[in-house]
A and B are shown apart, each in its own frame.
Chain A
């Protein structure tokens, strides 16, 4: 996978999150969508800033 493919993946992730965000604001998320949104946020944050700068809370995914 080259750099441009990674950028495409990140863009796709952001699109997914933006779509979920509309449902989140409308108070209309399923539990599965909540988990997808939370995990998507972490994935984007780590991709953008690096794992050293985004330290997850130990229990966030419990």
Chain B
């Protein structure tokens, strides 16, 4: 299997969000078992950027992957989200990751939104073993695929690259899970958008998306992560 890119989309206007949301995502991937060669954050025009020493920030797609293992690609102007089902900012970032992967020779892409986590070793190994398809896990509680977690490999990767050449005007007003052409919805894992209604993540969950924003930075909530990846209180 070729190189694997893991990416999320990002936007923040303050340092705390970078530290407590995006840095935790980076460290969670790094301390987990999902095999990867590079991490990418695609940023929708944040007014402030993180001051991490290990990140390469660029706004140029023609730059190849830098020596640093973490890249933040920044769009200069924010497109954002105007309604529940109108999010040109997210779609542009999602498309940019495909171009980044294509130009830099990646052959597998794992998309995990920054408030999402693959909790169990079982699901991480499943992601590692995927060699084909464009996959999203199902959320049984919502009876829908979870577009916040996707894996594209083999023909699925090629479909992803091709699909993301389409402009957002083709999909505006439609929820991502209803327009992305997944080739498989994986039903073998337990997970949900627990943070929508709960202040904890169940102990039997394989994955979680939309972690509760009010619990941000509280290591007890993120029981599956090593406590040391959370910044100490003196770090802000």
Give the interface of A toward B (CB within 8 A). 13-14, 17-18, 21-22, 24-25, 27, 29-31, 34, 37-38, 40-42, 44-46, 48-49, 53-57, 60-61
Contacts and interface: CB of A to CB of B under 8 A. Distances in A.
Contacts of B95: 25
A36 to B, nearest CB: 11
Measured as residues with beta carbon below 8 angstroms from the partner, the interface class of chain B is 20 to 34
B36 to A, nearest CB: 24
A38 B91 CA distance: 13
A60 B82 contact: yes
Interface in B86-100: 86, 88, 92, 95-96, 99
Which of A27, A30, A56, A61: most chain B Cβ within 10 A?
A27
Contact of B83 (A22, A37, A45): A45
Interface in B45-90: 59, 61, 75-86, 88
A17 B173 contact: no
Nearest to A54: B83
Given A29-B77, A41-B88, A54 B173 contact: yes
Given A18-B169, A21-B168, A44-B169, A38 B82 contact: yes
B172 interface: yes
B83 to A, nearest CB: 5
Contacts of B80: 38, 60
Contacts of A24: 75, 79, 88, 92
A46 to B, nearest CB: 8
21 contacts: A14-B170, A17-B167, A17-B172, A18-B167, A21-B168, A25-B92, A25-B99, A27-B59, A34-B77, A34-B79, A38-B88, A41-B82, A41-B86, A41-B88, A41-B169, A41-B172, A41-B173, A48-B173, A53-B85, A55-B83, A60-B81
A41 B95 CA distance: 17
B173 A49 contact: yes
A45 B96 contact: no
